[in-house]
Structures are given as C-alpha cells and as structure tokens.
C-alpha cells in the first residue's frame, strides 16, 4: 500500500464540487474551488474510528479519494491519469464547531479511507453514504464541476504532489452531522464499501 499515516505526506481536500451540493448551498460562481489540508494522522483504515472530544460536533462526507502514484508538479490535465495510482472511498470528516479557529480539519482519525482500486472512468463513479442504515448521500462523479483530472492538474501547479498523497475530491449534497455511536457505511459499485463505527477517544 502506498498511502497511510507513515507513507502519505499530505491530504488535500477540495470543494464545493458536486453541482447538487453547490445548489444546496446557493453557490453560483465557478471560481477555483476551496482547498484545505489535513494531516496524515487523520487517515485510518480501522472499522472503529475514535474522535477527539475536543472536536465537538462533526460532519461526515463521503468522497472519492484520488491516490497519487508518483512525485509530480505542473501536471497538465491530459497527463493526470499517468500520475494517479488509484482511487478509494473516503470520509472527509469536518469539526463543525471549529470553522472559525481553523481546526475544522486538524484532528486525528478524521479521514476514514478504504482500499485503493483501479477505476477505468473516474468521472463516472457512484458514491453513497449510509448512516445507521439510512441512505444520506448519493451522487455520481459525473456531476462534479471540477473533474478528477482537473483537480490533480490544478493542485500540482500549486504544490508538489508526492507518491502516496491523497486528494479528497468533494462531497455530494446532504453531508450529515453525526455523533458518537453512529455506524457509517460508504458504498460504491466501482470502489467497494467501507463500514465503521464512531467512538469517542479516551484521554
């Protein structure tokens, strides 16, 4: 595996990206999307996710993760596929109480992620998030404003991407405010499924 806490140098989140989510938020401009950074310590492959009590309220967001396969910079959009190792399901959790102080993406275990798979058409991937057996989010990456290839190119012109880096490519409409005890399942016909339970971290 080329990504993980000891192999990934950075995680870059991008959004808002899905058209339905942008409509839900009343976003009409098509300027470059917002970017955020997360620590590799946020990555977890476990079926039990421990959240810090300091996080307060938190939001769960299913996303397609783009796994970078080689160091690269200044990649053009048509070259993006050559530097991508694969794709994975991921949950880009957000600490909702900490938007104003900058800590909203900084806590450990905030990026539950699944195994990497090969996808022939990354712009045609269906994503779903279920919470306690209820379907909360569902959309297809064909409904992104900024394609996976565009994202790789755009970010590579801002910073060097390293092998094992992870790009979180945006979430569909209806991200859910979740709580300790919730069972989260992410599903995709192309990417498989990831299921985990949220627990509170003990001091």
**pLDDT of 86-103, one tens digit each?**
999 999 999 998 888 889
Domain residue limits at 135: 11-200
Q: What is the pLDDT of residue 88?
A: 99
Lowest-confidence region among 53-57, 155-159, 192-196: 53-57
Domain count across the chain: 1
Q: What is the pLDDT of residue 165?
A: 99
CA atoms within 13 A on the CB side of 174: 11
Mean of pLDDT values over 133-162: 98
The answer to whether 196 and 46 are in contact (CB under 8 A) is yes
Q: Give the pLDDT band of residue 194 (cuts 50, 70, 90).
A: very high
**What's the Cα-to-Cα distance from 65 to each of 12, 179, 203, rounded to whole Å?**
10, 23, 30
CATH of the domain at 42: 3.90.850.10
Q: What is the residue-averaged pLDDT of the chain?
A: 96
Closest by Cα among 188, 148, 195 to 167: 148
The reply to whether 72 falls in a domain is: yes
The reply to whether 2 falls in a domain is: no
Mean of pLDDT values over 10-32: 93
Q: What is the pLDDT of residue 97?
A: 87
The reply to whether 170 falls in a domain is: yes
The reply to whether 5 falls in a domain is: no
| pLDDT value at 83 more than 90 | yes
Q: What is the pLDDT of residue 21?
A: 95
Q: Give the pLDDT band of residue 65 (cuts 50, 70, 90).
A: very high
**What's the Cα-to-Cα distance from 191 to each of 88, 94, 117, 119, 194, rounded to whole Å?**
6, 22, 6, 8, 9
Q: Which helix (H) or strand (E) holds 153?
A: helix 148-156
Cβ neighbours, 10 Å, residue 28: 7
| pLDDT value at 203 more than 90 | no
Q: Between residues 197 and 104, which one has the greater pLDDT?
A: 197
Q: Between residues 32 and 167, which one has the greater pLDDT?
A: 167
Q: Give the pLDDT band of residue 110 (cuts 50, 70, 90).
A: very high
C-alpha 69/C-alpha 54 separation (Å) is: 34
12: CB partners within 8 A, 6+ apart: 35, 36, 37, 38, 155, 165, 166, 167, 168
Q: What is the pLDDT of residue 22?
A: 94
CA atoms within 13 A on the CB side of 146: 26
122: CB partners within 8 A, 6+ apart: 64, 66, 84, 87, 141, 147, 148, 149
């Amino acid at each position: 595996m080329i990504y993980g806490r000891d192999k990934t140098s950075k995680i870059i989140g991008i959004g808002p990206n899905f058209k339905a989510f942008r409509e839900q938020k009343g976003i009409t401009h098509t300027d470059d999307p917002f970017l955020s950074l997360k620590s590799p310590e946020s990555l977890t492959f476990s079926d039990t996710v421990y959240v810090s009590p300091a996080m307060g309220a938190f939001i769960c967001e299913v996303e397609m993760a783009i796994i970078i396969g080689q160091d690269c910079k200044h990649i053009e959009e048509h070259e993006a596929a050559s530097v991508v190792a694969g794709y994975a399901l991921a949950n880009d959790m957000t600490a909702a109480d900490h938007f104003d102080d900058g800590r909203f993406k900084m806590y450990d275990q905030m990026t539950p992620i699944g195994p990497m798979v090969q996808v022939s058409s990354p712009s045609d991937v269906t994503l779903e998030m279920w919470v306690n057996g209820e379907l909360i989010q569902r959309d297809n990456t064909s409904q992104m404003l900024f394609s996976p290839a565009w994202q790789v190119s755009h970010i590579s012109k801002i910073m060097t991407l390293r092998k094992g880096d992870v790009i979180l490519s945006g979430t569909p409409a209806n991200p859910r405010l979740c709580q300790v005890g919730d069972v989260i399942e992410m599903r995709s016909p192309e990417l498989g499924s990831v299921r985990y339970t949220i627990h509170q971290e003990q001091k």
